[in-house]
Structure 1
Amino acid sequence: MAGSSHPYATQPPRAFWKAAVGTRHYADLSELWPSMPLVRADRVATAGSCFAQHIGRSLASRGAAYMDMEPAPPVFSSQAEARRWGYGVFSCRYGNIYTSRQLVQLFDEAHGCRTPVERVWEKDGRYFDALRPGIDSVGQDSAETVLALRTRHLAAVRQMFANLDVFVFTMGLTEGWESTADGTMFPMAPGTVAGTYEPERYAFRNLRHNDVRGDMLAFWERLRSVNPAARMLLTVSPVPLAATATANHVLVATTYSKSVLRAVAGELSEDIADIYYFPSFEIISSHPGRGMFFEPDLRNVNQFGVDFVMDHFFSNGLEAEFAAQSLAEDDLELICDEEKLDINV
C-alpha cells in the first residue's frame, strides 16, 4: 500500500471548499470555469431568458462578432425604445425563449419541419404573434400581417443558425403552457399578454429532466445538421420564477426548475464536445454570495452582480482576447416577458 495516497491527493486547490471558497473573500474566487475556445472573429448568437442579454451586450461591447439578424428600423428615437419592441435584445427578434421546448420547436418551424396550429392571438381587435407576443405591445391590424412578419422573422432565424459559430443559450424555465392540439409551447400563458385562456385548448406543462435533456439533444442534432462546426455555450439564469402554475410555493418551484436545468446543462457539457457551460447561476445564487447580487426584490440581479459575472466570463484566455471597453450600454433595461406574471402583489 503506497503510504497515505488517496484519490484526492492530486486534486488542485480549486477542488477543495476550504481553499477555494471557505478561506477566501468572495471577490477573490478564481478558476470558476476553464473558459471555452472563443475569438473576436467568432460569430456569436444569443437566445434564452432575460439574463442572456447581459452576455450578448458584454460580448458586443468588447468587440465580438455579435450577430444582430433583425436590426431595428430607423423609426425609433433611441436604442432603449427599439429594445421595447424586441430589437437588439437577442440575435433575432424572437423575444424570450424560456424553455428547451420552445427552442427546438422554433428551429423546426424555421426550417419548415412544423407549422404550429395556433400562430396568432387576438386582443381588443388587434393581432399578435402567439410565439412572441411580448415584442409588440400594440399588435397588428390583421392576422395576415402577423403571419407575413413571422415568415420574415423565421428566415432570419434560419440564417442565424446556419452562419453562427457559437450559440449562447440561457436556460430559464421548465414551466410553460402548450397547445392541446399539437403541443406547441408558448413563451407566455394565453391571456397574459394577448389571446384568451381556454382550459380545453391549453395545458400547463412542467418539463422534467428527461424532457429538457431530450429537447436539448434534439436541438443540438438539428443545429449540427445545418452547421457542423457550431459550438454551444449553456448558462442557467439565476433569476427566480416570477410566478408558478404548480401547487408549490414559488421558492420550491424555482428550486425544482433551476435544479433540472442545471443538471441538464452540466451533463451536456460533460458528455458532448463543443458544448460548454458557464456558471453564472452559481456565481449569483450560491450561498457564499449572501444574496448581495440581488436587488431588494431578491429576484432581479443588480449591476454589481452582472459586472462580477462578466469579469469571470472574460477570464483565463478570454481576458486577453476581449479587452475591456466601455460597458455603458449595460444601463439598458432588461426585456423580460415573465415579469408580466408578477401581478398578485
Structure 2
Amino acid sequence: MSPINVPHLPQPIAYGNKILLIGSCFTEHIGNALAEHKFDVLQNPHGILFEPASVRHSLVSYVENRKYTEADLFYLNEVWNSWHHHSRFSGMDKEQVLQGINDAVENAHHFLKETDWVIITLGSAFSYILSSNVPEQERHDLHVANCHRAPGQWFYKKLLGIEEIIAAMDNTYHRLRTFNPKIKILFTVSPVRHLRDGVIDNNRSKARLIEVVHHLVDKFPDVYYFPAYELVIDVLRDYRFYDVDLAHPNYQATEFVLEHFTKACIDEPSQQLMKQVRQIAIARKHKAFQPKTNAHQQFLKAHFEKAKELIAKYPFLNFEEEMKYFKELTVER
C-alpha cells in the first residue's frame, strides 16, 4: 500500500453535531456508519445524486423550503416521477409522490437550519440534460438527477466544465452559509468508478471534481476535503478491493475508508464512545440458535443495562429500538 497523509479536521465532528450528507451512493456508506453509531444524521433527502448541478439544486431547495407541484412531475412507465429525485420517490399516486417529496424537503429545511456539518460526495462531472426530443408535457430545461429509464434520446450528456462546476458549488456555499452561518462543509469524491463513461472519460470526470473541490477548500473558510477517492484508488490500488463489477469498492475497502474517516474527522471523545455504541449495535444484530438459554438471556439483560447506562450518561443517544429488542426477547423466569 502507498502511504498517505490524511489531514485531521481542525474542528472534528462530534456527538451532538447535526450532519447532513448528500451525493453519490458512497455518501451512504459514510452516512450509514454514522447513523449506526447514533450520530444525528440526515442522508440524501432527494435520494442518491451524482453530479454537481443536482447536488446544488437539492441543497438550494432545502434552503428555500421549495414546494414542488404537479408541474415538476412527469408520468412514465406507469408511475409519476420527478427529474430532481431518485426513483424511491416515484409512485402511482401523484398526490402521494408530491407529499413524499415535499415532506422530505421540509424536513431537510428544518434540519439544515441547525446543521453543523454538510458532507458532500460528488460522483461524476457528467450531467444528463433534457433535450428537445422530450414530449412537450414532460419538458423541463434542467439537469436531471435520475433518468428513470426514460428513452435515451430524451437526453444529451455533457461533461461539465471546471468553471461551470466551480460556479455551481460557489453559489451553493454562499446559499448555505447565509442560511446557517455555522455550517462547515466536508467534500469527498466518490471512489466508485463510472465505467459506463469509459475509463478515459471517468478519469477526466473525477479529475474535474477533484480540481473543483480543492479550489473551494483553498478559497473558503470551513470547507475541507476527505480523500476517500485517493484512499481507494491510490492507497489500496488493487482489484481485490472491488466488488464483482470492478466499479464499486467492496466491504473491505469501505471499512478501510471509514477507519481513516473516523481517525481524521471525528474527535477523540466521540471515537471512544463509538466503540461502546458499536457493542450495543453488534449485540442487537446477534441471532442466537437457542435464545431461551440462560447464557443468551444474560447476554440480553447485560446489553439492555449497558444501553440504559449509556443513555443516562449521554442523553443524546437513542437506543429505543435496541432496548425494545433486548426487552422483548428476555424471558421472565
Alpha-carbon distance in 2 for matches of 1:268, 1:197? 34
Residue number in structure 1 paired with 2:238 = 290
Structure 2, gaps ≥5 residues long: 132-138, 286-333
Deviations 1:95-138 (A, max 9, x none): 1121111122223334167979962232343222332242146x
- The alpha-carbon deviation at position 231 of structure 1 amounts to 0.4
- The size of the alignment, in residue pairs, is 269
Which of 34, 39, 44 is the aligned partner of 2:8?
34
- Which is higher, the Rg of structure 1 or of structure 2? 2
Residue number in structure 2 paired with 1:52 = 27
1:102 is the counterpart of 2:58:
no
- The alpha-carbon deviation at position 278 of structure 1 amounts to 0.2
Deviations 1:76-102 (A, max 9, x none): xxxxxxxxxxxxxx252x111211111
- The alpha-carbon deviation at position 226 of structure 1 amounts to 0.7
Residue number in structure 2 paired with 1:279 = 227
Residues 1:285 and 1:319: Cα distance change in structure 2 (over 3 Å): farther
Which of 98, 110, 115 is the aligned partner of 1:147?
98
Identity %: 19
Query: Cα RMSD over matched residues?
Result: 2.8
Deviations 1:257-306 (A, max 9, x none): 11011111112112211001000100001166334421233211111111
Alpha-carbon distance in 1 for matches of 2:230, 2:4? 13
Alpha-carbon distance in 2 for matches of 1:118, 1:185? 16
Which of 156, 162, 165 is the aligned partner of 1:212?
165
| DSSP-derived class of the 2:196 partner | coil
- The alpha-carbon deviation at position 198 of structure 1 amounts to 4.9
Q: Name the amino acid aligned to 1:50.
A: C
Alpha-carbon distance in 2 for matches of 1:168, 1:46? 5
Q: Name the amino acid aligned to 1:33.
A: P
Residue number in structure 1 paired with 2:144 = 186
Instruction: Map 1:1-345; keep pairs closer than 5 Å.
Output: 26=2, 29=3, 31-37=5-11, 38-67=13-42, 90-92=43-45, 94-110=46-62, 111=64, 119-136=72-89, 139-141=91-93, 143-180=94-131, 183-189=141-147, 192=149, 195-196=150-151, 198-199=153-154, 202-244=155-197, 250-286=198-234, 289-315=237-263, 318-323=267-272, 324-325=274-275, 326=278
Kindly indicate whether the alpha-carbon contact (under 8 Å) linking 1:43 and 1:164 is maintained by their aligned counterparts in 2: yes
Q: Name the amino acid aligned to 1:188.
A: N
| DSSP-derived class of the 1:315 partner | helix
Q: Which structure has more helix as a fraction of its residues?
A: 2
Deviations 1:166-209 (A, max 9, x none): 0001011111222356542112235x1xx45554xx43222111
Q: Name the amino acid aligned to 2:33.
A: S
Alpha-carbon distance in 1 for matches of 2:40, 2:66? 29
Q: Give the TM-score of the pair, scaled to structure 2.
A: 0.72
Kindly indicate whether the alpha-carbon contact (under 8 Å) linking 1:293 and 1:302 is maintained by their aligned counterparts in 2: yes
Kindly indicate whether the alpha-carbon contact (under 8 Å) linking 2:20 and 2:115 is maintained by their aligned counterparts in 1: yes
Q: Name the amino acid aligned to 1:306.
A: T
Residues 1:189 and 1:97: Cα distance change in structure 2 (over 3 Å): same
